[in-house]
Amino acid sequence: MAQITLKGNQFETVGTLPVKGSEATFFCLVKTDLSEAGPADFAGKRMVLNIFPSLDTPVCAASVRRFNQEASSLDNTVVLCISADLPFAHSRFCEVEGLKNVVSLSTFRSPEFGIHYGVTIANGPLKGLLSRAIVVIDAEGVVRHTEQVPEIVQEPDYSAALKALA
Which are the catalytic amino acids? 60
**143 contacts 19 by C-beta, under 8 angstroms:** yes
* Identity at 27, one-letter amino acid code: F
Strand segments, DSSP code E, in the chain are 3-6, 9-12, 29-30, 36-37, 46-51, 77-83, 102-106, 133-137, 143-148
Using alpha carbons, select from 154, 163, 150, 165 the residue that is nearest to residue 60. 154
Contact 48, 68 (CB under 8 A): no
Report the C-alpha gap between 38 and 158 in whole angstroms: 23
